[in-house]
Structure formats: C-alpha cells, structure tokens
Structure 1
Amino acid sequence: MSEATSTTEPTRDVDAHAETVDAIFETMDSGPAGLTTAEAERRLSVHGPNQIQEEEAVSPLAVLVAQFRNGLIYVLLLAALLSVLVGVLPDVEPRYVDAGLIVAILLANGVFGFVQDYRAEQSLRELRELAAPDAMVIRDGEKMVVDASELVPGDVVALEQGDAVPADARLFEAKTLETMEASLTGESGTVSKSTAAVDPGTPLAERTNIVYKGTSVTSGHGLAVVVATGMDTEIGTIATHIQEAEDEQTPFQRELAVLGRHIGYGIGAVIVFIAVVQFLLTGADTIAVFLTGVTLAVAAVPEGLPAIVTLTLSLGARRMIDRNALVRRLPVVESLGSVDVILTDKTGTLTENRMTVRRVSASGRTLSVTGSGYRTEGEFREDGSTATPGVAEELLRCGMICNNAERAPASADDAYFGDPTEIALLVAAEKAGIVREEGRDRLREIPFSSDRKRMTVVVPEDDSATAYMKGAPETVIERCDRVLEDGSVRELTPEKRSAILARSERFAEDSLRVLGFSRRNVADPDADAESLESGHVFLGLQGMLDPPRPEVDGAIERCHDAGIRVVMATGDTPETARAIGADVGIESDTVLTGREVETRTDDELREAVETVDTFARVEPSHKVQILRALQANGHTVAMTGDGVNDAPGLRSADVGVAMGVRGTDIAQEASDMVLQDDNFATIVEAIAEGRRIFDNIRKFVNLLLSANTGEVLTVFFGVLVGTFLFTERFAVDAEALILTPVMLLWINLVTDGLPAIALGVDPRADDVLERAPRSSEESVIDGRVVASVLSIGVTATVVGLVLFFETLATVGTFVAAQTVLFTFLVVTEMSIIQVIRRRFGQSIGSNRYLLGAIVASLVLHVLVLYTPVADLFGVVALGWAGWARVLGGVLVVLVVTFLASLVFDRVVE
C-alpha cells in the first residue's frame, strides 16, 4: 500500500504494456494493496475526475434567451413596437401602455418558461449523474466500491465478468480474463488477457496486458493498476464518449409540434378572413387589423405545452428514484404506461437473491440446514434431530474451494462480495466450521459458463494438485466414475448414479436449486480442460433456496388487475420454475425450456408465447427470441436483465430494465431503467407512475386546448358580430377589440402557469392499475379530449358572448362588457379543471398544490381588477352585478360541459 505524498505525480504511462508489473507499480507509486484513501483523495484533487469531458452544461442565460426564440414572440414584440411607432402618424397617440404591458407579460412568460426548462435540464443532469458507473477498488488494503469518476492513477481495481472497465489499467493478475474492445478497436472478437509484458511497438489491439476504459470484461476476473484516467485514457484521446439520449424529443412533444403547425395554418386563414372583413367593411386602420390578428394568434397557440411536458416527465423521473427506479432515458416514462407484458427473470427480481443452502446429500444421507440469508448461525439436522456435518465435510469444503465469493472485510457478518449461489456455499461451509485457507493460491480456474454449466478450480495439495468441480448435477455426474461414501472412494455404479439423480429431482421438486460437486487428483494442472474435468469422484449435492420476496405475490396480482401479463424466464429446471411461479402467482400448466424455444419456428413461438407464462432452462439468447415473439404479436414489453448477454434484449425491449444491485455495468448501460433494489414490485410502481404521468399530461393538454379554443372562438365570433353591430347598434368604435392581446396574454399566463404545472403533479387515480394498458399508438389527444375541448370551447364562447353583449346593452359601456368577458374566461378556465379531472375519479381536494395554484391565479386576477393595474389592462372594477353575471355564466358552462362529458362517456362505453 502506497503511503506516497511526494510532489512527483504519476502520469499516464503510454508504454505501460511494455513494462514489468514491478516497474509499473514503481512508476505509479503504488502496490498490489492499492493506495490509501487519503492518497487517493489527494491524487483526485490533482488529476481531476475520471470522466470523459462532456459538452458544456447549458447556461442559465442561454435557457432564458431560448424562451424568446419563437415566432409568436416575435409577432408580439412587433405589435408592441408598432404600438409605439404609430405615434409618428398625424393625429394618432402612441400606445405606450399597450406596448409596456405586452412586453411585461412576455417577460413574465419568459421567466416562467425559464424556470420550467432550467429545472427540467437540472433534473436530467442529476439523473445522468446518478447513472454513473461504480468500480471495485482496493484501498487501505480492503475492497470497496467507489464511483468510477473517483479513480486515480495508481488505484488497484478488481475486475469481474460483466464489468465495464473504468479506466486504462495494467493487469498484474488475470484468471481466464477476456475483454470486448470493439468500442475502442472496432474488432468484434473478445481479447484474451494476460500479465506478461509485450513489445513496445505492439499495436493497441494486441496489448494483451492492458484493459481500457469503455471496454468490458466478458469472462474471468483479474486485478489491475490504473495507469490513466479521464481524458488521458485511450478512449479519451480519440474523444469517443457515448452520450445518453435523454434530450431527444418525446412522442408527446412531437405530437404537440404537429398540433401547433395545424393550429398555425388554421389561425392564419382565420386572421386573413377577419382582416379582410375589418378592412373592407369597417374601414379599420392597419394597426387595428394587425392587433386583431395578433389577438387571435395569442389566443390560439398553446406555447407553454412543450415546456410543461418536459418538466412533468423529468419530475416524474425524479419521483421514480424515490421508488428505487432510476430512469436513464426520459422517453421511457411514456412507454411505461402502455406496457402489457413484463418478461422477468427470477433470481433477485421475484426472489430475494440471497440463496441459502437448505439441504445437503452425501454418502446416501440427507441433512437439512437451518438459518437464513448470509448469516452463519445455523445447524445441520437429520430426521428432525441435530446432526454433525462430518459426513458432508468434503462436499462442503469443495463448495468453499470452488468458489469466487469472499467475505467483505471489516463488515457485518452477512456482508459478502460475489455471486449469491457461491455466497450460499461459502456460508454453508462456515456453518460447519470449515474455514477457508488464506494464501492458498489457485493454480488454475476453468470458469462457469451457461454452455458448460460447471466450474473447475485447481489448487495445490501437498506434492500434487486437486481439481474441484461444481455445476448442474447431471453435468457433474456424467464426468464422474467414482463416488465418496463414508470416507471411502467406491465405484459409481449405474444404480448409484440413478439414485443420486433421483435425489436431485426430489430436491428440485421442493423448489431447491441443486448443484453437484466432485474432485480428482491431477498430476498436470496445465492439462487441457477435458482431462481436468474427467474421471472425478462424486462428493454429493447441495440444494439451496432463494425465497420469493414477500411483496412479489401482491405485485403480480396488481399486474393481473392492470391487464399486464407476467412471463417468467429462468435458468432453473422446469420443476423449480413451476414451483417458484406457483408461489408468486404465476400459474403455468405448460413450461417451455430454452431448447424447445430454439426448435420452434417463428410462427409456432408467436403462438406459444400467448399462452405460456413460464420458461425454464433459458439462456439470454432464448429471452431475446421470446421478447421478439411477444413484440411481433403487438405487445409492449418490459424486459428485465442483469448479465452481459442480456444487453441485446434490454436494448430491443420497449422498456429495458436492468438490475442495479447484481446487474453488470453493460446491462445497465443498455437499459432504459435501472432497479436500484432489484425488486419486481418496483417495476409495478414504475408502470403505475408512467400511467399517472400520461394521465396528467392528458389533463393539462385538455385544459390548455380547451382554454385556447374558447379564446379563439370568442375573438373570432366577437369580431364578426362586432363588425356589424358595434357601430350600428351601440355606437362603439369599430377599432375596439372584444378582448385585447394584453388580456389574452394574461389569461394564458394564469392558465398555462401554476394550474398546468400543478396538474402535472396530480396524484394517481384510484384505478390507475385497474385499467387495461393503453395502446402504444394511442394519442394524448384522444376522442374524449377532442370532445371535451369542443364542448368546453363552444360553451364558453356562447356564454361569454351572451354575457358580453348583455352587459354592453345593459350597462352601456364597452369597457364594462370587456371586463365581464375577461373575468368570465379566467374564472371558467380555473373551474373547468375539475370537470377535466372528474374523468379520472379525482376529488377537488386530492391535490393541494392545484388548489393553491387556482387560488393564487384568481387572487392575481382580482388584483388586476381592483388596483391601479386595472388602468393598464383597460378594465374596471366589477360590482356585485358584474360578479353575478360572471359566476352565473361559469355555472352554466360547468353544468353543460359536465352533462356533455357524461353523455360522451356513455357513448364511448
């Protein structure tokens, strides 16, 4: 362990591949035991974080300026400018008040949009930081997990199968280590690694003793000392950095962009029509015609929608973190609401991922093992009585030796590093009092693979060596010709072989995962694998159980209520798969194996996946076949995975869900979402959250479009009627607008502002997990939304114009009629929110933020009416009669639109 504090800092060693391990340690001022924590922190302050430089963060000023880069904003600013410049004309007063109010409200809208966009940007940046990978390092002589960005030159990193290599490092220990370096070299094959130095001129792709940042470990394990971090790594020098895609437009935003274009085309035609009518029939001047067009444009365009959609999605993603679901790509929040099939693995997702040995079999005897989890308290029992584990001692020792798990130093009793199955074997041996021999180096390891279904290690034994093997019982026993019975080695007869396999089947029928164990003395540890794994002595069986998580049963029931199928794909035997499935609520009359999946045609598999909910003995490639068959049938599939080979499936799934605890870095990188607790119930929570977010976006889209439709129709028909009635009946100036641009800007500000944001955080509807999943093709603006928009818009227009002309006729002043209509639209838009929410079964008091937003908006409007600001808006204070008109009109709108929604709901049903 380095205690170095010299001012000479280790720098990137470009020839690390050509130097010996000792020379590298000297150059890096480090050693096999790594650095001290204090030294690592000091070096981090010198070298900086181990990160590839990303594009600069968007500055707050740039976000603010972006709020005003909009065609509508340019039109409004031009209107403000013309309102002032018109004063150069003879006998025309400049409209400073109008210009000032337009600019002030635009600034208010801009600041509000800035707050939304900047919060969304910050939220996404925080999500990216949370998605940063970890690294296993040795510091202060102990293994620990740190953020990969904290690695420094001289750190010693431990690498395992499935890890993403966190920095450029020189290997000094490598056990059957292979890496995939396609991201760096472009070569698709794996690269076998070793510790020996190579020639200085060796090409990058042939430097077998170096592992590179951005590549991945495909098999084996090893230790390496970091020689370069951050931009000093090879991948940093060529500036290749995989950028995540959270900033892409979501389907909602694309849909709204199309909607905006359609609104633009329609409103353009209306503006031309109104302009012609005003200009030809009333003699209105160009400024008045222009202001009418601006008024219609302001009324029509829901300019705040894209920002609110983005903010709602990002806030939803933040809430998912609180439920242990880390969303890595923002658009997945939308996809979650349409998931109708979850293709899940078993271990750690449906189960606790804390395997515990429950039963051992040796010398024809079966012992049960008590205790739970990774604690070593427990005993061995036979026929209900306490028994000594002596008969199984060699079996348990084999499980401890043929094992890569290890206890975490200076940690709690149940803290281990390694695979859960291997940890269970280690704990079982420790329960028997068997202690691992420290310093007993392995001579060789032949790693486990899904194809081989076994693992073998060779360790020294006095003057010879012994190969220990573990794996699937049928795989191990076929490589044995003898059996250990009561301390003596005897011939493994066909009868004994059958008895052992029958016992293994009985274990499996009890939902136990069963492993077989064997050993043999070897003369040549370097012999080929086939020789080392043949002629073994069978030692016995160990059966272990990974119990279902207690909350999974209820979560699967919730899925069924929500119309979501749960399909389990596991590497366990059909018997174990069926038993675990039954325990958690996945009843399967038929279980297909991976081999059966392989032999079926595409059409046959597409037919099978509609009825089969359990797949056993599957490999990652089989899961991809099942996934594609489900998708071909039109399903939206969320797929879970944790291994290197799961990455293609996670990338192909509609929602790829990686495990955060046991998942490999590569699986997490390929995923859309990471479960930070590896818990199936978290997926269900994420789906519910996705449905909630979709509901809320639909609510405020409904609100804003309803409000804008009412405003457009009111201005449109108000101008048409006013063109013929104002001068003839009421002797009103023909240039007067039924609603001014300033008024409409204010209405949009109070509607698009706090209430719309508050709708974005509306709580879940009670039936959010009782509805069938929505189709992935379903639009935000469905038939119900269109019907709601039209009923609200048309009713508000008719009632509003009646109020306007009735007030004009009764009171006799144009400004009083304008004030009534202006206030009516504001109060109506605040009131129809509950009509819209009624469809989702939510009470008015279920969202205190929404109540607060509505009250705040109404208070602001009242201030406009009863303070000196009224002169700026061209309104007057309303008396009791005015408020009676407003509230009566609002009541009519609420009753009509409520009845219309009931009728439409019945028609749809």
Structure 2
Amino acid sequence: MNFIYKETHSRQIQKNKHDTELKLRSDASLTAEELLTHLTSAHTGLTNQEVENRQDEFGKNVITTGNKNTTLHRLKEAVINPFNIILLMVAVVACFTDVVTSKDPDYFTVIIILSLVFLSSLVSFIQSQRSNTAAEKLSKMISNKSSVRRDGKLIEIPMDEIVPGDVVWLSAGDMLPGDVRFLSTKDTFVAQSALTGESNPVEKFSDLRNKQDDALTDLCNIGFMGSNIVSGSATAIILTTGNNTYFGSMANTLSGNRAETSFERGVSSVSKLLLRMMLVMVPIVFLINGLMKNDWPSSLLFAVSIAVGLAPEMLPVIMTSTLAKGAITMSKHKVIVRTLGAIQTFGEMDILCTDKTGTLTEDKIALEKYMNVHGEDDVRILRHAYLNSYFQTGLKNLIDIAIINRAAKYNLENILDNYSCVDEIPFDFSRRRMSVVLIDEKGKRQLVTKGAVEEMIAISSFVEIHGRVLPMDEKSRRMALATYEKHNADGLRMVAVAQKNEVPGSGAFSVKDERDMVLIGFLGFLDPPKESAKDAITALQEHGVRTVVLTGDSEGVALKVCGKVGVNTSQLITGRDVDRMDDAALHDAVNTCDLFAKLSPSQKERVVKAFQTSGHTVGYMGDGINDALALRQADVGISVDSAVDIAKETADIILLEKDLMVLEEGVLEGRRTFGNIIKYIKMATSGNFGNMISVIVASIFLPFLPMLPVQILTQNLLCDFSQMGMPFDNVDNEYVKKPRKWETPSIKSFMAYMGPLSSVFDILCFAALWWAIGANRIELAPLFQSGWFVFGTVSQVLVIHIIRTGKVPFLQSKPSLPLIVSSLIVVVVALAIGFTKLAIGIDMMPLPVAFAPWLALILAGYFVFAQLIKKIYIGRYKEWL
C-alpha cells in the first residue's frame, strides 16, 4: 500500500509540474496587454476588492510540501513511536496472562501500562506543541515584503499576501514573490541557482525573444519564485503563487536532504551506539534468564522491556524543548532563530566573519567632503552626485541617502526641475559603480557616474582640472590617486564622480557607454565606529570567538575603523590578493589574518570556505546582496531585520538590533542550550551502559527476575519525568567560556567511567536486599524487585545532579527550580510506591523501614564515589561535559 501511495504521489507531482510548465510557457508567449487582460489586471495593479476575492481563491502565498507541522501530525508522532508500541505489546501479553488465562483476572497491570502510554504521549505532545508555538511566534517577528501596486499606489506588503495579477516593483536584493512575467526591465539580472544549480545570474527582458526549444528556466521574460534580483530593476506581474508556482510544484524533489551539522551527526552516532547496545543486550539477557530460570515467555518479555529502558526515548523531547527554550530566551536578547537547529551551531561558532558597515560602525554615513581632484571643496561635485543618487531607481543605499540629505542643506532640490532621467545603468558588484543618463531643458544629454575610485579611474580617459578637461596622463592619474589615498588613510570612505556629454541621442544605454569618462572629483564619507564594538569584540574573544572582518571597502577605511575597535590589523589581505592565492595559500592566510578588504561577493564566500576547511565553525554576519553567497556558505548565517530579502532568507539567525554585543548574548545562549542537551545524552548513555552490566549480573546470580517488565517500564517513565526540568537548567559560567563541539569519543569515555560505577552500587543494593533484608527466596522476589525499583529510580534522579555540573552539586552549582521540582516529585513518588501498599499495584511488596538506612547509605556512597570519579575524569580529560 505504501508503494502504491508513493507511486501515485510521484505521478501527481509530475502532473502538477507539467501543468505549471504549460501555463508559464503560454504566459511567456503573450504580449503585455494580452497578459493583463488574461489575468484581469492592469498596469496600475489590482483593486483591494479584487485582492480579497483572489486571496479567498488562491489562499496565502506560501509553499506547503506535505506539511508535517500540523497538530494532527505532532499528535501522531507523540502516540506512535517505538516506546509506545513496545508498551502496547507488553500490555497485550499482560492482558493475556493476567486476564484472559487467569482464574482470578487482574486488570491493574494492564491499566498501569496503558496509563504509561497515555502519560508518555501527553508529555511528548505538549512539549512538541510548545516548541511549535514558540517557533511560529518567533517567525512572525520577521517577514519579507514586496513592493506592489494596489489601487494605483505603490505600497509594501508581506510577501505571503501577494496574489496572481498583482503588479510588483523589483530591485536589487528583492526575492521574487511568485512566478512572474516581466513587464519592464532595466539591466535586470536574476540568480536562480535554487532551481537550476547554475551559479551565474541570468539577464531577464520584458520582450518576446524566447525560442521555441528554450528550457523553461531559460525563458528570458519569466522569473521564478525561489530566485532573487542581483542587479537592476524591473516591474512584473504575478502569474502564480504558493504551491502553484514552478518551485512549489517541484519543491518535494528540490528540498532534498541538507548536509548534517556536527550536532546532528553526533546525535546519530550516539543513537547508533545505543541501538548496538540494545541489539547485544536483548539476546544475552533473554538467553541467560531463559536458560537459568526456564521461563522463556517471561524472559522474552523482560528482555524486550530492558530494551525499552535502554532507548533514549526522551531525547527528541529534551532536544526540541531545550532548543525551543533557547530560541525564546534568545528572542529576549533581540536574536530571532529561523531554524531551531542553528542554536547549537551558533554556540559552536569559533570564527565570526562580519562586514564592517553597521556592525563595527554606526551605520549612519555622513557626507564629509565633496572635492575636486586636487582635494579642494567644490559644490559642483556634490551637485553631480546628487543628480546621480536622486534619479537612480535601484536600491538607495546609505551613501545615496547621505548625498541627498547633504544636497537638501544647500537647497539643491531646485536643479531637479531642469533635468529628467532617460535611462540608467544600475550598480553591480563587478563594476562597483552606477550611472544615470540625464537630459536637461535644452535637450543636452549627460552621463553621470559614481562608484569605487579605482574602477572609476579605470574608465576615465579625461580629468577636469581648474575647469578644463584634459586627457588623463600618468601625472594627473597619480595626482588623483594621491588625493584619494590621503583622505582614505584618514578613514574617509571615498567615492569618485565622473561625467561625459558625448552620449548617444537615442536607444538603450549599457555598460559599454561607461568609457572615456571625465573624472571630476571625489566624495568622502564618514561612518564612525560604534562605541560598543570594541567591548563586543573583546567579549567575543574572551568566549573563544575570533572576529574577522570581510569588507568590500577600501584598505584605508578598513584599517582605520578596525584599528579603533580592536580587530587585529597587523596583516591585511585584499580581494586582489585573494584572487592570486590558490586554496592552500588562502588556507594558510586565514590562520593569521583578521582583516580582508575590497572583497567581491564570491571572494567573501571563498574566505569563509577556507576557514571551514581549516576546521573552524564559521558564522557570517551580513545584510546586503553582496553577503548572500557567504551567508549560504557559512555554518550559521546571521543577518538583521533591516537586511535585503535575500540576505534574510539565506540567514539562519536574524538580529533585531545590528550590534555585536547582541550577538555575544546569542552565542552564550547557544552554548547553554547545547550544554543542557549534552547533559541528558551523557546521562542516558552512561546510565544505560551501567544498567546493562547490572541486569546481566542479576540475571546470572538471581533465581528470579530482578524486576518485572511493568516495573521496568514504570521506573523508566518516572526517570523520564525527572528529566523534564533539564531544558530549563542552569549552566555553569565556566562551560560557556569557549565554543563547544560535539565530541563522540568524549561521550564514549564518559560512559566507560560512569556506567560501571552505577553497576557497582546496583550490586551493593542487590547484596543489601539479599543478605540484610532477606529477600533471597523466589517467593520474596517482589520484595527484592521493590528494593531495586526504589534504588534504581532515586539513584538515576541523583545522577542527574551529579552529571549536570563539573562542580559539587547544590553547594558550588545550583540546579534550576524546574529541575529541582521534577526531581523531588519523582523521588517522593518512588519512595511512596516502594514503602507503601502502592507497590502491590505493580506486583511488588512494600519495603520494610529497615531498608531505608541501607538505601541512604548506598546512595551516599554513590554520591561520594561519583564525585571522586568526576575529579579523576576531569584531571585526565580536562573537561566534564
């Protein structure tokens, strides 16, 4: 049946994909007017009433691929799991032996087992619901938006409110909010590697230049959800949204399995280790008890119950609740986690690569200088820069805003009436400049360009000196560079301005027209360092995180700012240097260099990769289009809520405040989260190893089973409940001082020390019950079982507090209140069952008061020797958790 379902499901996916492709090809062949008519839309967009109708018809603009995040699915996962299945099998056997075939039917054991199933499922479901609710609340705090025309006005709305027929305006950094047909484009380049795997962006056009045999993703006037605008601008009409998009139709096949993190690999390795232990344990215990007690059915049931006890069935609950609690705590520090699994990687991070602007600086760029090539103040330079910044339609960055603000102080707005923009050549990160083509009231055309100094000088054949346009020779070139380098060394971010009048009278303009320019002067901007940046970098360093700056800015500005905030500037590598290095040389360079300047987006990505191949866990913090590649490459991508869409979508963690100090709080919380998960894993593995040894010893020497299946399962549930406070536990300050990676060998060595220790005290408990209490006959087996039930439960609660800290528990390191409460409840319940008539309910005998001193003595010995072993272990391995 499952095979038939998969085949049918696969056919449906292929059909949806085929239907979507046919529709998009059809829409690509229509003229703009035909398409608007077909979609019942207009260049001015939809009306609010039309939008409401379409939202009812098409729903939210989100992709749901076999959504496994429903309440019903979480309930199913909570109820149907290996632990509950085995419990129900035990219940069936108990029902047959105690009710169906018994002369005196006893329903109590069956009721207890079914109660265990109910309670276990309830706890798991509640934790799952809480984690999901927390994740949903956090995701609503950040959202991507689109600029859309509604009732003729251009407004910003959340992307999930887009409907087919909407007319959207797109610029560099925007994600495509659906499958679109471009109505107008201007040097529009789109990255669609999510669909095609091709790293280079492709240019899109609005006209009908497609060929009949073009692949769907090669259609030049169609854009796809899942891609983003790299450069240029465009208007487009939405063709399909959500699951009806091409990306939505093939999302099941595109999603695939992402690479496992070190944490996921660690959990997998421990799960496999415990599984191997179970596979060895079950046949050994079954054979020993079957041969020695000649009761094969009871031996099988006992062995299966032991297997249940060895399974870390609380691991998913502990992990999800710990991660959810960590995410909520981080949100209070203005750090929003988009994927819960990123929390641990955040804590593991030992290299933080960050852009300079806004992270180390105030992100409030002010225009300080506007000067000619001699370095003399010249308002004419400001005027040309103002025309360029005002008339460009792309993403207005902080530089553009600073120019516009300064021009307003000189009342330069009046000159705008004299010009109109006939075309533009948008900014991109390879040219590092942008141009506008203006026409004045007399019909004169002028190309005005601003951009990075070296790139601008490279396209300038002339230079303006004292009002005269002269050919740029080596002398004038050196003079211009000297002016640039002087002010750049003072910490000013320099931008060059050039213009020319000889431009074509008609037709579209392109990058080819940016040549033979006249260099007229420079702009100098100041973005002062943040006061908090130095303290934040020092704090990160104290916690084992090295801060490395990867910036597109020039060397002078980078050196000035980084020097003031405490980044090591003794070595500086530029993008040109990176290009000259092979992978081995770059691998060596990243070990010593903390400052990389004038990097392109692909160079940033390459530097991040070099750190990773050197064995580091790398976080990358950025908010621009030029950061998207590095964000995707990093182990944990970090962006800010004000970032461009593609940066936010790529990042794992979003900061609501662009501040490294906020980041440091998130790093510490990530380590606390990992610490609480590792506590449970080390406790589970060592405890299970010890139980394995104890059960084998008991099976060899005892004439009866040391515990019945129902008793094992009840103890297991009580111990699980005692661990419910662990996600909320305190973590020692010493633990969060350095990055923490998953170390599977460390878990194995921990298990080898603590496991046998628990077995030694289990055997001492057996001895006290056998000789001191006299539970040494088959008819007194329920008394013996009651004693080990109480000791086993209380000792497992005690070991939580021993393992949770490398210090002396309670005295040097205090557990959290939730963990104390869950521990106390379980201890009281275990003692109540063992020492009262409640023991009869799970086929045990009430313990005599005489056992209490023995219990206290053995537990005290366990505590003392555990602390002694802890000291020996820390002395040898220099760590505890």
SS of the residue corresponding to residue 587 of structure 1 reads coil
Residue 885 of structure 1: how far off its partner (Å): 3.4
Measured on the aligned residues, the alpha-carbon RMSD in Å equals 3.8
Residue 269 of structure 1: how far off its partner (Å): 4.0
Residue 845 of structure 1: how far off its partner (Å): 4.0
Change beyond 3 A, Cα 1:491–1:719: closer
Partner AA of 1:847 in structure 2: S
Residue 365 of structure 1: how far off its partner (Å): 6.2
Residue 797 of structure 1: how far off its partner (Å): 0.9
Partner AA of 1:783 in structure 2: S
List per-residue Cα deviations over 1:282-327 (Å, max 9, x = no partner): xx54444344434533443333224433443344345444444444
Map 1:765-780 to 2 at 5 A: 765-771=732-738, 773-775=739-741, 778=744
The answer (yes or no) to whether the contact 1:246–1:330 under 8 Å persists in 2 is: no
Q: Does 1:340 align with 2:350?
A: yes
The answer (yes or no) to whether the contact 2:286–2:299 under 8 Å persists in 1 is: no
Residue 647 of structure 1: how far off its partner (Å): 4.4
Residue 866 of structure 1: how far off its partner (Å): 7.3
Taking structure 2 as the reference length, the TM-score comes to 0.85
Q: Which residue among 233, 246, 257 is the counterpart of 1:221?
A: 233
List per-residue Cα deviations over 1:114-144 (Å, max 9, x = no partner): 3344555666677777786432224465544
Q: Does 1:521 align with 2:504?
A: no
The equivalent of 1:895 in structure 2 is 864
Q: Which residue among 794, 811, 819 is the counterpart of 1:850?
A: 819
Residue 255 of structure 1: how far off its partner (Å): 1.9
Q: Which residue among 251, 260, 264 is the counterpart of 2:274?
A: 260
SS of the residue corresponding to residue 747 of structure 2 reads coil
Equivalents in 2 of 1:713, 1:33: separation in Å?
76
The equivalent of 1:567 in structure 2 is 548
Q: Which residue among 562, 567, 573 is the counterpart of 1:581?
A: 562
The equivalent of 2:708 in structure 1 is 740
Change beyond 3 A, Cα 1:303–1:451: closer
Partner AA of 1:213 in structure 2: M
Equivalents in 2 of 1:14, 1:892: separation in Å?
77
Equivalents in 1 of 2:728, 2:746: separation in Å?
17
Equivalents in 2 of 1:777, 1:87: separation in Å?
47
Map 1:331-480 to 2 at 5 A: 331-362=341-372, 391-392=378-379, 394-403=380-389, 418-435=396-413, 437=416, 441-462=420-441, 463-477=443-457, 479=460
The answer (yes or no) to whether the contact 2:364–2:398 under 8 Å persists in 1 is: yes
More helix by share: 2
The answer (yes or no) to whether the contact 2:286–2:302 under 8 Å persists in 1 is: no
The answer (yes or no) to whether the contact 2:787–2:834 under 8 Å persists in 1 is: no
List per-residue Cα deviations over 1:484-511 (Å, max 9, x = no partner): 65xx445477666544432322221222
Q: Does 1:783 align with 2:749?
A: yes
Count of aligned pairs:
844
Change beyond 3 A, Cα 1:135–1:743: same
Q: Does 1:698 align with 2:678?
A: yes
Larger displacement relative to structure 2 (396-405 or 23-32): 23-32
The equivalent of 1:147 in structure 2 is 158
Residue 421 of structure 1: how far off its partner (Å): 2.1
Q: Does 1:316 align with 2:332?
A: no
SS of the residue corresponding to residue 50 of structure 1 reads coil
Q: Which residue among 489, 498, 510 is the counterpart of 1:509?
A: 489
SS of the residue corresponding to residue 137 of structure 1 reads strand
Partner AA of 1:824 in structure 2: F
Q: Does 1:628 align with 2:592?
A: no
Residue 644 of structure 1: how far off its partner (Å): 4.9
Residue 266 of structure 1: how far off its partner (Å): 2.8
Equivalents in 2 of 1:438, 1:766: separation in Å?
64
The equivalent of 2:799 in structure 1 is 832
Larger displacement relative to structure 2 (695-704 or 309-318): 309-318
Map 1:66-145 to 2 at 5 A: 66-67=77-78, 69=80, 73-86=84-97, 95-120=106-131, 133-139=144-150, 143-145=154-156
The answer (yes or no) to whether the contact 2:786–2:839 under 8 Å persists in 1 is: no
Q: Does 1:801 align with 2:766?
A: yes
Partner AA of 2:857 in structure 1: G
Residue 341 of structure 1: how far off its partner (Å): 1.9
Equivalents in 1 of 2:659, 2:152: separation in Å?
33
Change beyond 3 A, Cα 1:678–1:139: farther
Residue 882 of structure 1: how far off its partner (Å): 4.2
Change beyond 3 A, Cα 1:842–1:766: farther
List per-residue Cα deviations over 1:427-451 (Å, max 9, x = no partner): 2222332227379642221222333
The answer (yes or no) to whether the contact 2:503–2:513 under 8 Å persists in 1 is: no
Equivalents in 2 of 1:906, 1:435: separation in Å?
73
Equivalents in 1 of 2:842, 2:866: separation in Å?
30
List per-residue Cα deviations over 1:786-806 (Å, max 9, x = no partner): 423333x13431342244235
Equivalents in 2 of 1:366, 1:841: separation in Å?
70
Question: Share of identical aligned residues, percent?
Answer: 26
Residue 107 of structure 1: how far off its partner (Å): 3.0
Equivalents in 2 of 1:291, 1:245: separation in Å?
38
Change beyond 3 A, Cα 1:419–1:696: same
Taking structure 1 as the reference length, the TM-score comes to 0.83
Residue 699 of structure 1: how far off its partner (Å): 0.7
Change beyond 3 A, Cα 1:590–1:63: closer
The answer (yes or no) to whether the contact 1:602–1:629 under 8 Å persists in 2 is: yes
SS of the residue corresponding to residue 501 of structure 2 reads strand
Change beyond 3 A, Cα 1:860–1:775: closer
The answer (yes or no) to whether the contact 2:336–2:653 under 8 Å persists in 1 is: yes
Equivalents in 2 of 1:697, 1:88: separation in Å?
42
Equivalents in 1 of 2:503, 2:295: separation in Å?
106
Partner AA of 1:804 in structure 2: L
Map 1:473-872 to 2 at 5 A: 473-477=453-457, 479=460, 481-483=462-464, 485=466, 488-489=467-468, 491=470, 498-525=478-505, 526=507, 532-644=513-625, 646-665=627-646, 667-723=647-703, 735=704, 737-753=705-721, 755-771=722-738, 773-775=739-741, 778=744, 781-791=747-757, 793-809=758-774, 815-839=782-806, 845-861=814-830, 864=833, 869-872=838-841
Residue 567 of structure 1: how far off its partner (Å): 1.7
The answer (yes or no) to whether the contact 2:835–2:848 under 8 Å persists in 1 is: no
Change beyond 3 A, Cα 1:76–1:153: closer
Equivalents in 1 of 2:55, 2:746: separation in Å?
48
List per-residue Cα deviations over 1:82-126 (Å, max 9, x = no partner): 334336999975553333323322332233233344555666677
Change beyond 3 A, Cα 1:519–1:115: same
Residue 776 of structure 1: how far off its partner (Å): 5.7
Residue 275 of structure 1: how far off its partner (Å): 1.7
Equivalents in 2 of 1:233, 1:555: separation in Å?
44
Q: Which residue among 274, 288, 300 is the counterpart of 1:274?
A: 288
Partner AA of 1:450 in structure 2: F
The answer (yes or no) to whether the contact 2:688–2:755 under 8 Å persists in 1 is: no
The answer (yes or no) to whether the contact 1:800–1:824 under 8 Å persists in 2 is: yes
The equivalent of 1:381 in structure 2 is none
Equivalents in 1 of 2:244, 2:783: separation in Å?
72
Residue 622 of structure 1: how far off its partner (Å): 1.9
Equivalents in 2 of 1:551, 1:840: separation in Å?
34
The answer (yes or no) to whether the contact 2:193–2:227 under 8 Å persists in 1 is: yes
Larger displacement relative to structure 2 (585-594 or 655-664): 655-664
Residue 838 of structure 1: how far off its partner (Å): 2.4
Q: Does 1:47 align with 2:58?
A: yes
Equivalents in 2 of 1:231, 1:265: separation in Å?
44
